[in-house]
Structure 1
Amino acid sequence: MGSSRAAMIVLTSTGLHMRIEPIAPHTFHIRINRTGCFEAPSPLVRLGVVAPSSAPVCWEMKMREEDMDLSTESASLRVDRRSGELSLYGAAGTLLTRQNRPPRSGYETQADPGDAPAGASDDGFDMQFALAAEERIYGLGDQLDTPLMKRGCKIAISFRNGKEVHAPVPLLLSSERWGLLMDTDRRHEFDVGCSSPDVVRIRGNRGELAFYLFAGGGLAELLRKYTELTGPAALLPVWAYGLSFNCNQQATARDMLEDAMKFRREGIPCDMIGLEPAWMDRSFDYDGPINWNPDRFYIPQWLPKGAHTFMGALRAAGFKLTLGLYLRDDSDAGKQLHLPENWYEYLKPFVAQGVLGFNLCTPIPIREMANAPVAADDRSEDAESLPHSTAVSRSIREGFAAQTGLRPMIYTPVGYTGIQKYAAVWSGGRSRSHLSVLGLGLSGIPHMAVDMELHTAAGIHCGFFQPWSKVNSWAYWRHPLLLDQELLLLFKTYARLRYQLLPYIYSAAHVAARTGLPIARAMPLVFPDDPRAVVQQNQYMFGDAFLVAAFTDQVYLPTGDWYDYWTGEKFTGPADISYRVPKHAGGPLFVRAGAIVPMWPDMEYAGQRPAERLELHVYPGGSGEFTLYEDDGVTFGYAHGELAVTSIACREERRVIGVELGPCVGRYPDMPESRIWEVVVHALDKPAAIKVDGKQWRETSGSFKKPSPASWSYDRKAGTLRLLVPDSAERPDSIRLEMSLSRGREVQRTSEQQRPPARSNAGQRTADELEKEIEVALETGNTAKMLSALERWWSVRMAEAGSAEGVREHWLAMNSLFVRGAERKGRTLHEIAGGDPHLRSRLQPTGSAEDAYNSLAQLAARIIEYGKEQGDTYGIIRQATDIIMSEIDRELSLHAIAERLHLNSSYLSRKFKQELGLSFSDYVLEKKMRRAKELLLAGSTVAAAADQTGFKDASYFNRVFRKYWGVTPGEMKS
């Protein structure tokens, strides 16, 4: 076994010179031409996509008469010395792929003209690999109207192929555990089993044949090896994983500030505000300075920085500003984009003013550019160089880092392989936009977002479950506050959920930057051995825990247990679901059993308040692990070890749920020294006992405003167990939580939505589980679901009853549940029964099991019917919020508003929390504090702000304001 950086040169009997270099134990760099002169560096090294490896690779060569083997510890490459055909083998000697035709680099004059692509010159190339019968091919970037699995497709690595293309990536990943990356910056084409079903053919009109061939395991491991080859993806600043909003291209500074303040006034979390390139005074050509458009964005030249500018106002409200830049046109024949030296100097003044990112865009949309007509005699396509947005992105990233020490947010609609190291990628809307996200995730670009389809519930659902989320007005009027009330409420729900999930998303981003495994993961990446899963294109995993279905109500659940995030129902896979989306949701969302999901408290923008209290949601079922990555969120310190990592695990064995919080390893600047974990376990049964580090904790009522130490609570309706666990950054050992479940029968949840296959384990549920389903059905008005659950509950209870006395006992127990359901609707059970004497008689106990069940079924149906008669819940909440906003200058009480709406106050309180995610008092406080902040920033006195927000005592107003905002009203004014 030898060790060398030298490459092997092989001359075939057909006159091809082959240069083969093992650059990693699993990767070979292969260059083929007819001259034997291999210019250095090769294209991807010259572009900075691949860094030359300085580490030697141990390899061994075996030469035979007809062929030779070049072997490393992880792979071997066999070369036919006559034809130049290659075969790649894995570490165990398994054949992974082989060429079934001699490669060509340069076309001989005597060759059949049909062998060369149209317009090919003497320096074009052509090669092909055999495809196995069941082999699946992924990667190759994003191109309109192509599926995730590329077998059967013809993919042009070009921007002038008549189709909408955002980021063509010449990366091919195979289900047979091998991958290929073309080493060229010229237009070329992949024919993946389209012209001939059993081969993949790669052809180009210019340049030598050069590529990287690598062996690996599954698709996830191949992505990791691609990442090792090209370098890790850029980690975005933590706020970039929140919500981004791009203003209309005609916006002025006032319009932009109004767009921003609408988010704050409505309590919609948002971090990034972007401007189209019309913000500047002239078209930027990278050759000279630019300024703000004086008519739209006036800034006094004698005082261009500070809180008095529109950028200062944005900063005070927690927004980050990004500016649009047009990319230079580099698509003309033979042109290479040569950026002027030190051109970033022209951007420095804007960064100094507070700009935190740049949106690269094209003067006309990609779709229009791709379909632009080309003259019949225009041969420029033959010599087309792929775009160099990578060079622009790299220059901005490096210049910004040198100027500020911070990570910028750079996003571009076009790019080539390697763009992931410097920028995120975005595109305009397309049908089934998630396919762009998943396709680029399978091509080594983990940060892809498609403009949110704002005017549909399904579009909002998909838009918030992308690696980063973007609402783009561009030439339109796409602001969430312009939506109808139902969609606006839905948008708020998803925006708040997105921000709660930021520690989960940011941890997945760390994994993506390190390994190439994207945040949004196509099903073949996660379930490669499930033939049903790999064909699913309308669903994907979002991180380790969430299964998202996009633009469909048909869901396939792989093997294992799954929780419906919206309803709490539990399913067992493999199973097909015909899903009915709840009114408060936009699409199916499931959580894998065993998942651990950290959540931040509600915030309007990332970093608004220290994350010293984290919710930790645990979904029991088997074993699960999660690694929480934390850093300062804005600098490059994480790359130098300024990072805190916490490993968390859960397991369920013999009806004991165990959660282990590992010690926090590592540090970063301004890291909290202590933390409170609010552990939320989604347990279908109330636990019998809780132990923390071996000490038993006691049950309490569940109020966490002033929680008792060493206590826990259980919400039966929500099916959640909660406890607060204090933690310290210096803790050396793990914290261990053990939850012993009750003795209820261990049975699996099913649903009328589920169509389980024969193998599905969908048996009876425990009585407690069924009671919860009955409560949910009563609350949501689902009569069929309620009657189904009630019938099964009665069957379980009658099996235990044993006597007429037992029948009465269970009958009374269910009636007590009905009483609570009636109270939540603001009425007594007798009031709901109304004038129906027959129904009122059903409120008396009976000894007949059949009569008892019939009376329960009639009462339950009447409760649901009564709820529907009372009208839409959201209409009630809207009436209440209208009163609050119109009378914000008065003292507002829950009881007074409930009386005005002729409602029970406890019912209104509960509906408030359910529909808006806030208690009545928290909602009123939030609106008053926001109004007070607006008044103070507009120049109002403290006394006037207090009076106009309903505070008669100015000193009390001062205390409340400081507690809410962290500063006094006077400090806010200054």
Structure 2
Amino acid sequence: MSSTRAAVVVQTPNGLHVCIEPIAPHTFHVRLNRTGRFEEPAPLARLGVVAPSPLPVCWETKTRGEEMDVSTDSASIRLDRHSGQLSLYGEAGTLLTRQNRPPRVGCGTLSGPGGAAAGTSEDGFETQFALAAEERIYGLGDQHDTPLMKRGCKISICFHVGKEVHAPVPLLLSSEGWGLLMDTDRRHEFDVGSSSPDVVRIRGRRGELAFYLFASDGLAGLLQKYSELTGPAALLPVWAYGLAYNCNQQTTARDMLEDALKFRREGIPCDMIGLEPTWMDRPFDYDAPVDWHPDRFYNPQWLPQGAHTFMGALHTAGFKLTLGLYLQDNGEAGQQRNLPEDWYNYLKPFVAQGVLGFNLCTKIPVREMANVPVAADDSALDTENLPHSTLVGRSIREGFATQTGQRPMIYTPVGYTGIQKYAAVWSGGRTRAHLSVLGLGLSGIPHMAVDMELHTAAGIHFGFFQPWSKVNSWAYWRHPLLLDPELLRLFKTYAKLRYRLLPYIYSAAHVASRTGLPIARAMPLVFPDDPHAVTQQNQYMFGDAFLVAVFTDRVYLPAGEWHDYWTGEKFAGPADIPYHLPKQAGGPLFVRAGAIVPMWPDTEYAGQRPPDRLELHLYPGGDGECTLYEDDGRTYGYLHGEMAETSIVCRDDGRVFSAEIGLRIGRYPDMPERRAWDVVLHTLDKPSAVKVDGQSWRETNGSHKEPPPASWSYYRKTGTLRLLVPDAAERQASLRLEFVRSDGREVQRMSGRRQRSLPCPSSDRRTAGELEKDIEVGLATESTVKALSTLERWWAVRMAESDSVEDVREHWLAMNGLFVRTAERKGRTLHEIAGGDPLLRTRLQPPDNAEDAYSSLAFIAARLIEYGKRRGDPHGIVRQATDIIMSEIDQELSLQAVADRLHLSSSYLSRKFKHVIGLAFSDYVLEKKMELAKELLLAGSTVAASAEQTGFKDTSYFIRVFRKYWGVTPGEMRS
């Protein structure tokens, strides 16, 4: 054994040299070869991907027999000095992962002068780590059509024609609290429990075995450690988080300006206009200057800059121009040509004219996108994995900063680990596009966007809830003004919402640049302890507040209260609900109770108005906090402290919902001296009092364009309360807001919004009678969500027929008849259930208008359910049965066994179950098992594991049942 100040080296009896270097309290650099020569810098450090920490690390070694511990304050590695196997332990001494067999390493790779390979090993390296039974593995970048959870997958880390891999990242993140980053620029392969279900195997054909091993609590903590290791993500300019539009590749200056002005004429906010590489007079080879195409983009040489040019006209209208550059072609045998050191000088004239960003492109499209191609022979396998895009992105970012002092917008279709420091990543049309965004977010690359699918409502919905949004015409005609009227209306709705959310999105981007936590956060990142949440692939959190579901009509809501953004309806989680889209939406969108969402007023582009007045949207029902990050949105001043932070906290004790807006801490150039807050509280029940800094404010009718001082208004139609709080120059403390609830708060919080704001979804074709049956099921099983959501749709159907006073009363009486029957089955009357509550007695009087009638019905339905749960309703046997089924779905469930546990006869339970649920017991169990099996397979589970978790002991029988139910085999479902 030998050691230096920074590392310890051990030689095993079979000639393996193991070098362990603690580079941070939680991170170790491990290298293994048979030469004992560990060349510096290591591959990722040589490529600038990993930078050594400037801070010293305190560590020690302890030896016991054949075992040696290398320990810091936060983690330790235990090495078997005989076999070379190692194990990683966390701060509390908990085993996180271990090599379950000795690593295999060839002769290693020796570097000659300048880092060129002087010798290679033909047998390469192999290592494998044991996987725990429930361990989940994430990362590995953007691998086409693979699930988020990579266990069960085999993935190559390379760039190759035919492999739809945009950004391979050799990073593993484990649900058990450990991460691994391979330290190599050569092709290698991860087999994550595919060949052997309990093993992750890593193989490479050449080079030494080297990797970074790190520990932390949870996936979010691991992402932060990875960010500290490879460098933080570049913060884009604020306008880059708006909307980008790339013109058709045959466009001219006139066409481009017309495309831009269409956005302004239609009132569609947009910031970035991009050109394909056809803007230039010849192909750009990085060796000589280019100019504007003389026919398409004529720019007189005697006045090339100013407001009179096409770039000046764009700038006047608030647009920012980006130019496409083809990435360099590979040379022979896949080797990349070196970039001239001064090649950025060829871009300087265009930047001086007003260009603010560059779109890196590739020439060979694969499903509307391209990958860096390499030759198919063996020599190609030995090329560096660091793609040309990283070198180009780094040169542009550094050159642009030197020339302008500003941040450019650089976006590339290909990248490798570390690309997040220089550029955003983009992709063309592909299936399951959202998995590319979420997968890269789980691989340390938070700025990923997929070209918007413009011709479907679901595509627009997802397109605007990405880290950044782009409409790409490329070879087609995808301007939103060419959409049909309904899709154009939807596009406008989402574009305006995106721009109003820019303060919220930009704050989340600041968090991403600091911690690695992406803007679009896969469910395992946010809800790691919810076993149902971690399997969800078609939904994610967008920042802290929003839950977005895409390309699905079902939504899983984790524990807590959730507000449907489109309808205002509230739901209590955990709940798996069917979702019926309202007309104004392209997909489900929920807001977490306790959320705090800062918004801009409507704007056409970022920077159009000074940020001296912000909306602050508050969603009661829980506690929450957020930090609003602000800077000039353009320069690197934020890295030197030129920024402001505002902390906002809200608390909900059931009686009072309060919010505290902290003082702005910090300054940046051109920061507004004062800030007015237009506070919007989303509540179905008007508060009885509103206080600001302890002073009661008065209620007004909201008819004023600018509200009177010290006043608030409640808008029942939208379910919102608004008040304008001007900033005081002399303010020295936080601003406190209090909203005191009225007596009906609890039931109102469970009910949906009034029906006039909730049109019946066109996709729900059930009759009023069928809906009444579902309401009865919801009341019998004490399902608040089912009963109230169905009641809402039933009322909408009835009111669509007629909303006269007579019909309102008739329908109100009819539903109360159902409530009376429900109460009788519980052995009580409605008045007895009221228990002398005068508020409920008033709800039992026939109302005169539709709004009050629906509010009354929702109140009574919720009270019936609340009473049944409180009294332990003996007739709720179906709910008890369904609870058993869902909690023991991994078991064999028979009608007789469940009936015995409920002390009932099987025939009685069968009749009751069919009466309430509408399905036979066996059909219901099969439905739930098959739905779970589908979720598990799509989340990356193996067929055998899916069979076991759904209660099938025989895998072949499971396959037959699955195929009969879904029409495809489990294997086909996974692929």
The TM-score normalised by the length of structure 1 is 0.78
Once the two structures are superposed, what CA deviation does each residue of 1:556-610 show, in whole Å capped at 9, x if it has no partner?
Answer: 1111110100000000011111101111100000001010111100000001111
Aligned mates of 1:760, 1:572 — CA distance in 2? 13
Q: How does 1:278-317 map to 2 (within 5 A)?
A: 278-317=278-317
What residue identity is the alignment partner of 2:718? A
Q: Which residue of 1 aligns with 2:750?
A: 749
Q: Which residue of 2 aligns with 1:500?
A: 500
Once the two structures are superposed, what CA deviation does each residue of 1:90-126 show, in whole Å capped at 9, x if it has no partner?
Answer: 0111000000111122169xxxxxxxxxxx9436111
Contact 2:331–2:337 (CA under 8 A) maintained in structure 1 = no
- Aligned to 1:281, the other structure's residue is in SS state coil
Contact 2:451–2:463 (CA under 8 A) maintained in structure 1 = yes
Alpha-carbon deviation of 1:60?
1.2
Q: Which residue of 1 aligns with 2:27?
A: 27
CA change 1:212–1:161 in 2 (3 A) is farther
Once the two structures are superposed, what CA deviation does each residue of 1:499-518 show, in whole Å capped at 9, x if it has no partner?
Answer: 00000000000000000000
Contact 1:169–1:416 (CA under 8 A) maintained in structure 2 = yes
Aligned mates of 2:814, 2:665 — CA distance in 1? 52
Select the residue among 799, 809, 814 that pairs with 2:848.
Answer: 814
Aligned mates of 2:194, 2:274 — CA distance in 1? 41
Aligned mates of 2:617, 2:808 — CA distance in 1? 27
Q: Which residue of 2 aligns with 1:826?
A: none
Q: Which residue of 1 aligns with 2:481?
A: 481
Q: Does 1:260 align with 2:260?
A: yes
- Greater Cα offset, 721-730 or 86-95: 721-730
Q: Does 1:242 align with 2:242?
A: yes
Q: Does 1:355 align with 2:389?
A: no
Aligned mates of 1:666, 1:264 — CA distance in 2? 35
Aligned mates of 1:37, 1:760 — CA distance in 2? 70
Q: Which residue of 2 aligns with 1:131?
A: 131
Q: Which residue of 2 aligns with 1:944?
A: none
Q: Which residue of 2 aligns with 1:433?
A: 433
CA change 1:311–1:229 in 2 (3 A) is same
Alpha-carbon deviation of 1:621?
1.1
Contact 2:223–2:515 (CA under 8 A) maintained in structure 1 = yes
CA change 1:756–1:25 in 2 (3 A) is farther
What residue identity is the alignment partner of 1:525? L
Alpha-carbon deviation of 1:820?
14
Q: Which residue of 1 aligns with 2:546?
A: 546
CA change 1:74–1:567 in 2 (3 A) is same
How many residue pairs get matched? 808
- Greater Cα offset, 588-597 or 59-68: 59-68
Once the two structures are superposed, what CA deviation does each residue of 1:139-182 show, in whole Å capped at 9, x if it has no partner?
Answer: 00001110000000011111117320110000100001000001
Aligned mates of 1:629, 1:227 — CA distance in 2? 20
Once the two structures are superposed, what CA deviation does each residue of 1:488-508 show, in whole Å capped at 9, x if it has no partner?
Answer: 000000000000000000000
Q: Which residue of 1 aligns with 2:55?
A: 55
Q: Does 1:201 align with 2:235?
A: no
Alpha-carbon deviation of 1:778?
7.9
CA change 1:817–1:9 in 2 (3 A) is closer
Once the two structures are superposed, what CA deviation does each residue of 1:195-215 show, in whole Å capped at 9, x if it has no partner?
Answer: 111111111112211110001
Q: Does 1:762 align with 2:784?
A: yes
Q: Which residue of 1 aligns with 2:468?
A: 468
The runs of at least 4 aligned residues of structure 1 exceeding 4 Å deviation read 2-5, 366-379, 750-761, 763-766, 769-804, 806-812, 816-821
Alpha-carbon deviation of 1:6?
1.9
Q: Which residue of 2 aligns with 1:510?
A: 510
What residue identity is the alignment partner of 2:232? P
CA change 1:778–1:397 in 2 (3 A) is farther
Contact 1:527–1:533 (CA under 8 A) maintained in structure 2 = yes
Alpha-carbon deviation of 1:3?
12
Alpha-carbon deviation of 1:774?
9.5
Alpha-carbon deviation of 1:273?
0.2
Aligned mates of 2:447, 2:374 — CA distance in 1? 32
Contact 2:390–2:415 (CA under 8 A) maintained in structure 1 = yes
Contact 2:106–2:122 (CA under 8 A) maintained in structure 1 = yes
Aligned mates of 1:388, 1:709 — CA distance in 2? 59
- Aligned to 1:674, the other structure's residue is in SS state coil
Contact 1:165–1:370 (CA under 8 A) maintained in structure 2 = no
Q: How does 1:718-737 map to 2 (within 5 A)?
A: 718-728=718-728, 731-737=731-737
Alpha-carbon deviation of 1:613?
1.5
CA change 1:202–1:519 in 2 (3 A) is same
- Aligned to 1:84, the other structure's residue is in SS state coil
Aligned mates of 1:746, 1:311 — CA distance in 2? 57
Alpha-carbon deviation of 1:8?
0.5
CA change 1:815–1:759 in 2 (3 A) is closer
Alpha-carbon deviation of 1:819?
12
Aligned mates of 2:780, 2:558 — CA distance in 1? 14
Contact 1:457–1:586 (CA under 8 A) maintained in structure 2 = yes
The TM-score normalised by the length of structure 2 is 0.78
- Aligned to 2:472, the other structure's residue is in SS state strand
Contact 1:664–1:731 (CA under 8 A) maintained in structure 2 = no
- Aligned to 2:659, the other structure's residue is in SS state strand
Q: Which residue of 2 aligns with 1:707?
A: 707
Contact 1:749–1:765 (CA under 8 A) maintained in structure 2 = no
Q: Which residue of 1 aligns with 2:580?
A: 580
CA change 1:107–1:134 in 2 (3 A) is farther
Q: Which residue of 2 aligns with 1:933?
A: none
Alpha-carbon deviation of 1:535?
0.4
CA change 1:575–1:808 in 2 (3 A) is closer
Aligned mates of 1:683, 1:242 — CA distance in 2? 29
Q: How does 1:349-428 map to 2 (within 5 A)?
A: 349-367=349-367, 379-383=379-383, 385-428=385-428
CA change 1:808–1:600 in 2 (3 A) is closer
What residue identity is the alignment partner of 1:749? M
Q: Which residue of 2 aligns with 1:150?
A: 150
Alpha-carbon deviation of 1:331?
7.0
What residue identity is the alignment partner of 2:103? P
Aligned mates of 2:605, 2:816 — CA distance in 1? 45
- Greater Cα offset, 772-781 or 62-71: 772-781
Q: Which residue of 2 aligns with 1:956?
A: none
Alpha-carbon deviation of 1:762?
2.3
Aligned mates of 1:376, 1:166 — CA distance in 2? 18
Contact 1:716–1:772 (CA under 8 A) maintained in structure 2 = no
- Aligned to 1:663, the other structure's residue is in SS state coil
Contact 1:152–1:197 (CA under 8 A) maintained in structure 2 = yes
Contact 2:632–2:670 (CA under 8 A) maintained in structure 1 = yes
Q: Which residue of 2 aligns with 1:682?
A: 682
CA change 1:304–1:793 in 2 (3 A) is farther
Q: Which residue of 1 aligns with 2:902?
A: none
Q: Which residue of 2 aligns with 1:556?
A: 556
Q: Does 1:593 align with 2:593?
A: yes
Alpha-carbon deviation of 1:391?
1.0
Q: Which residue of 1 aligns with 2:17?
A: 17
Q: Does 1:40 align with 2:46?
A: no
Q: Does 1:227 align with 2:230?
A: no
Contact 2:847–2:853 (CA under 8 A) maintained in structure 1 = no
What residue identity is the alignment partner of 2:504? Y
CA change 1:686–1:463 in 2 (3 A) is same
Once the two structures are superposed, what CA deviation does each residue of 1:714-742 show, in whole Å capped at 9, x if it has no partner?
Answer: 11121111111112476321111111110
CA change 1:175–1:278 in 2 (3 A) is same
- Aligned to 1:664, the other structure's residue is in SS state coil
- Aligned to 2:471, the other structure's residue is in SS state strand
Once the two structures are superposed, what CA deviation does each residue of 1:181-234 show, in whole Å capped at 9, x if it has no partner?
Answer: 011111111110111111111111122111100011100000000011111100
Gaps of at least 5 residues in structure 2 are 109-119, 753-770, 821-828, 861-975
Q: Which residue of 2 aligns with 1:671?
A: 671
Contact 1:275–1:322 (CA under 8 A) maintained in structure 2 = yes
What residue identity is the alignment partner of 1:431? T
Alpha-carbon deviation of 1:467?
0.1
Contact 2:74–2:90 (CA under 8 A) maintained in structure 1 = yes
Contact 2:154–2:191 (CA under 8 A) maintained in structure 1 = yes
